[in-house]
Amino acid sequence: MAMRNINAEINPIRFHIGNIPVFGDLVLAPMAGYSDSPNRLLARRFGSALSYTEFVNAIDIVQDINRVSQRLAFQPEERPVVFQIFDNDPTRIVRAAEIILPLQPDILDINLGCSARSVSNRGAGAGLLRRPELIDVIFKALVRISPIPVTAKIRLGWDEVSLNYLEISKILEGAGASMIAVHGRTKRQAYSGASNWQAIAEIKQAMRIPVIGNGDVRTLADIEKMKAVTGCDGVMIGRGSFGNPWIFSRREHESISFEETRKVMLDHLELMTSFYGIDRGPILFRKHLKAYLSPYKLPKGTITHLVTTPTYKSLKDMLVVLVSLNT
C-alpha cells in the first residue's frame, strides 16, 4: 500500500541535531527486536521524524557477528537515520564507530539507558550512569572522530537515590553531544512505575541542545501533555506505537477502521518478508500482528490460527479476507 511521507508534506523543521534538520516532533523509539528497518520505514511513512536502529553491541560490530549488518541496514527513505550502539569500553566504542561510519548514518547515538541486566550489569547502557567520568571520555573521543552529530539516550539514574540526570546531561553537552533523549525512569524501575516528566523538564531547562522526552506516551493526549509539562523538542514513542503507527500521524487509534488496519498489516507483512525473506519474515511479523489485532473482537481461534500459520502465502491469504471476520 502506498503511503505519503507525512514529514515532507506537512511538518516544518522543528529543531536541528547538529547540522541535521528534524522535520516533525514525534520519533519511534529504539527498541530491541522492534526497531528494525521494516518497522522504522513504516513509522517514517506515517510521520516519525527520526529512524533509530535498535541498539547494537559494539562487540558485535567489531567482531561482525549476530547479524550486525542486517541490524544496521536501512532504506534511503528512513533518513535521518540514527545508529545506536552500546558498550562500556571507550576504545571499542570508538573502533565500532569507525567501522560503521562508512555506512553513512546521519547521527550516531550511544545508549546510556538500557536496564537489561545483561547490559547494565557489565557497565554498559544504564550502567554507565554510575561512571560519569567514563561517559565524558567516551563522548569526547567520539565527537573528536565523528563527522556526524553524536547523541545520547539516557535514564534518570541507576535508582531513586542516585538521580544524576542533570550531572550526566551537562557532561554530555560539555563533551559535544548534539542532542539528548531522556527516558523518565531509573534503571531500577525498568518499565515499572510512572515516568518522571518533571525531571525531563529540568533537563530541558538546563540544556542548550535539543531534548527529546520518552516514557508513558500512548495517546495523542499524552503527546501534548508531555510537551506541555517538559517543553521538550520532540516526543519519543515506544510501546505506544505497537500496532499503532497512526500515532505518528496524530490520528486517534479509535478512529482507524478495521479495513485500514488490515491494509497496513498487509503492507507491514510485505516489508518484513522483503527484508527478512519469505520464511523468516512472516515469523518475525507475528508480534506485530498480535498488536494490530488486540483492539478488535476477533475469535480467539482466528487469532491463534493467524499467528501460527506456517507460510507467507497462507498468512497473506488470511489477512486479505480478514475484514469479513470482524463481526
Shared domain check, 290 and 145: no
Q: Is 159 in the same domain as 286?
A: no
* pLDDT value of residue 252: 94
- Would you state the pLDDT for residue 1? 36
Looking at the structure, tell me whether residues 176 and 302 fall in a common domain.
Answer: no
CATH code assigned at 110: 3.20.20.70
Of 249, 272, 297, the last residue of a domain is: 249
Neighbouring-strand partners of residue 154: 112, 182
Spatial separation of the C-alpha atoms in residues 10 and 6, rounded to whole Å:
6
Q: Both 32 and 134 in a single domain?
A: yes
**pLDDT score of 4:** 44
Cα 34 vs. chain centroid, distance in angstroms? 8
Does 93 share its domain with 147? yes
User: Is there a catalytic annotation at residue 114?
Assistant: yes
Phi, psi of 214 (to 5 degrees): -145, 140
Domain match, 230 and 318 both: no
- 114, part of any domain: yes
Residue 115 in any domain: the answer is yes
Q: Which of 41, 114, 168, 272 is catalytic?
A: 114
* pLDDT of the residue at 320: 86
- Cα(first)–Cα(last) distance of the chain, in Å? 24
Q: pLDDT value at position 323?
A: 59
Q: How many separate domains does the chain show?
A: 2
Beta strands in the chain (DSSP E): 13-17, 20-23, 26-28, 51-52, 56-57, 81-86, 107-112, 150-154, 180-183, 211-214, 234-237
- Does the residue 1 lie in any domain? no
83, β-bridge pairs: 108
Do residues 236 and 295 both lie within one domain?
no
> CA-based angle 47:49:55, to the nearest 5?
115
Q: Which three cell numbers stand for residue 67?
A: 547479524
Q: For residues 132 and 202, what is the distance between their CA atoms, to the nearest angstrom? A: 19
The answer to whether residues 131 and 245 belong to one domain is yes
Domain span including residue 66: 6-249
Per residue of the chain (327 residues), give pLDDT as tens: 344 444 555 678 999 999 999 999 999 999 999 999 999 999 999 999 999 999 999 999 999 999 999 999 999 999 999 999 999 999 999 999 999 999 999 999 999 999 999 999 999 999 999 999 999 999 999 999 999 999 999 999 999 999 999 999 999 999 999 999 999 999 999 999 999 999 999 999 999 999 999 999 999 999 999 999 999 999 999 999 999 999 999 999 999 999 999 999 999 999 999 999 999 999 999 999 999 998 888 888 888 888 898 899 999 998 888 754 444
Q: How many CB atoms lie within 10 A of CB 4?
A: 12
- Structural domain includes residue 195: yes
The residue among 249, 274, 306 that closes a domain is 249
Domain assignment of residue 136, yes or no = yes
- Tell me the whole-structure pTM to 2 decimals: 0.93
Same domain for 19 and 90 = yes
Q: Are residues 24 and 112 in the same domain?
A: yes
219 with 320, same domain: the answer is no
Clarify whether residues 240 and 307 are in a common domain: no
Whether the Cβ atoms of residue 129 and residue 187 lie closer than 8 Å to each other: yes
Domain end marker among 218, 249, 280? 249
